Structure 1
Amino acid sequence: MITDPELDGAWEAEHAGERAEELAPRGRAEGAAGARRPWLWALGGAVAASAVWAGGLYAFGEKLAAPEISYRATKNLCEDFRAQALGRIAGDLHRYRPMNQQNDHPAVRGAICVLQNGESVSTLTVRAQVDLHKKTDPGAEFDVPSLWLAADIGAGRTEAVEGLGERAVVLVSPGDATVQLRVLDGGAVFTIEAYGTGRAQNAPADTAALHAAMAEDARALMAALKK
């Protein structure tokens, strides 16, 4: 059987002397230094090349890891998210106790605003969310579906939305009961979700109008938070 020379004990015994001679100095010290000098130059070049490569990789990684955020942080998302287009469909969404919350994490600064068009019974609830990613570019994970949303609303359909941010998608649940629009742009992810609540378990019947209103309000919110 043919074996790998590095694993063959006989080969090791036969060439052990030769390998020892190659490692030992030969002749005068000057000759030994001269023999080793090309090897040292090669090693130095390899180290230098590795340092340049590592430095370039680090700089490239830093560029990927810290995206330039094109949007400012909001102090009160319900004040910046006016939802005027959705209001034309479902009535004044700021009339009944807007709920606002912010969270400043070292990796992501998030803000949420929840609006509804009724006090105890409403036909439409709207949730807006803005996430500013300070450490990593959200583009790599933007297309990953939300398991929480899928478990909550069941299997739905996803459609691309043209002309909104870098990328935008809308997810519609079975029966059009829940519609979620997500927009990726400038290191930020904008989410607008609309769903029926209370006794009315369905969003407005005109789904196309709802989609258009959500896109219009998302565009207005992005303009309001643009640096």
Structure 2
Amino acid sequence: MITDPELDGAWETGHAGERAQEAEELAPRGGADGAAGARRPWLWALGGAVIASAVWAGGLYAFGDRLAAPGISYRATENLCEDFRARALGKIAGDLHRYRPMNQQNHHPAVRGAICVLQNGETQSTLTVRAQVDLHQKTDPGPEFDVPSLWLAADVGKGRTESVQGLGERAVVFVAPGDGAVQLRVLDDGAVFTLETYGNGTGGNTPADSAALQTAMIEDARELMAALKK
């Protein structure tokens, strides 16, 4: 997968020895003939998240003494794909853990993060799900939480953003134009939880509309938060 030399602790993966091969195998193919026309959303999604986390964490770490460290109420995970069961999304898209989940961790002193990427197919799939948990150990992530994701907006275009009530301290959902991508972000007690879904079918189609995906993502986020709660 993707590593970042700017981080003190490298992103680790549960499939380090087969990283390049599995990335190619898991990437969705376009059309019945296996042409490479279809996009590979989980690749840019994972890459953008790692780059954004590196820059953001590095910048805040430099000013760590000026900002209050948050009290973190969640434990770190060594394998997010084991803790993130995606049961609600699985009812929509099928078993998301069947096709070799991809797991990564980062042990940076400022932000300890973990990422899990799931798909509902081996060579072809209709849905990719990416879950990320960031435990902010040096600074409070609250002031920056509402800043829009520039790399996501730049790739999928300007969408609509809505607040979600009753989930963590604050939660917000972003829906891309055409409902091809949905992102849910939750801030709670020094941790930021991010769930994203991307359609991998023709034209970015997903197995459900954005409203159904959003409902399932909220349910799965709540279950993940409960699983990692200290």
TM-score when scaled to structure 2? 0.70
Q: Contact conserved, 1:123 with 1:200, CA < 8 A, in 2? A: no
Q: Which residue among 85, 93, 111 is the counterpart of 2:88?
A: 85
Q: Which residue of 2 aligns with 1:113?
A: 116
1:125 counterpart (99, 123, 128): 128
Cα distance in 2 between the residues matched to 1:69 and 1:120 = 39
Question: How big is the shift at 1:206?
Answer: 2.7
207-216 vs 73-82, which deviates more?
Answer: 207-216
**TM-aligned CA distance change 1:198 to 1:176, over 3 Å:** closer
Matched-pair identity in %: 81
Structure 1 match to 2:27: none
Q: Which runs of 5+ in 1 are unaligned?
A: 1-60
1:74 aligns to 2:77 (yes or no): yes
Contact 2:125 2:200 in 1 (8 A): yes
Q: Quote the residue 2:212 is aligned against.
A: 209
Aligned residues of 2:172 and 2:184 also touching (Cα < 8 A):
yes
Give, in whole Å, the separation in 2 of the partners of 1:166 and 1:70: 12
Contact in 2 for aligned 1:121/1:199 (Cα 8 Å): no
The letter for the 2-side match of 1:192 is L
Residue 64 (structure 1) shift: 4.8
Moved more, 217-226 or 196-205: 196-205
The Cα offsets for residues 31-50 of structure 1, whole Å up to 9 and x where unpaired, read as xxxxxxxxxxxxxxxxxxxx
- CA 1:202–1:90 in 2, change beyond 3 Å: closer, same or farther? same
CA RMSD of aligned residues (A): 1.5
1:34-77 CA-partner distances (Å, limit 9, x unpaired): xxxxxxxxxxxxxxxxxxxxxxxxxxx97952110010000100
Bigger share in helix: 1
Mean alpha-carbon deviation: is it higher for 98-107 or for 202-211?
Answer: 202-211
Instruction: Return the index of the structure with the highest Cα Rg.
Output: 1
Deviation of 1:201 after TM superposition, in Å, equals: 1.4
Higher RCO (CA < 8 A, seq sep 6+): 2
Task: Describe the shift of the 1:63–1:217 C-alpha distance in structure 2 as closer, same or farther (beyond 3 A).
Answer: farther
Q: How does 1:177-188 map to 2 (within 5 A)?
A: 177-188=180-191
Task: Look up the SS of the partner of 2:204 in the other structure.
Answer: coil
Tell whether 2:124 aligns with 1:145: no
| C-alpha contact (below 8 Å) 1:110/1:131 kept by paired residues | yes
Q: Does 1:170 align with 2:173?
A: yes
Aligned length: 167
TM, length-normalised to structure 1: 0.71
- Gaps spanning 5+ residues in structure 2: where? 1-63
- Distance in 2 between residues matched to 1:69 and 1:214, nearest whole Å: 23
Q: Say whether the 8 Å CA contact 1:122–1:200 is kept in structure 2.
A: no
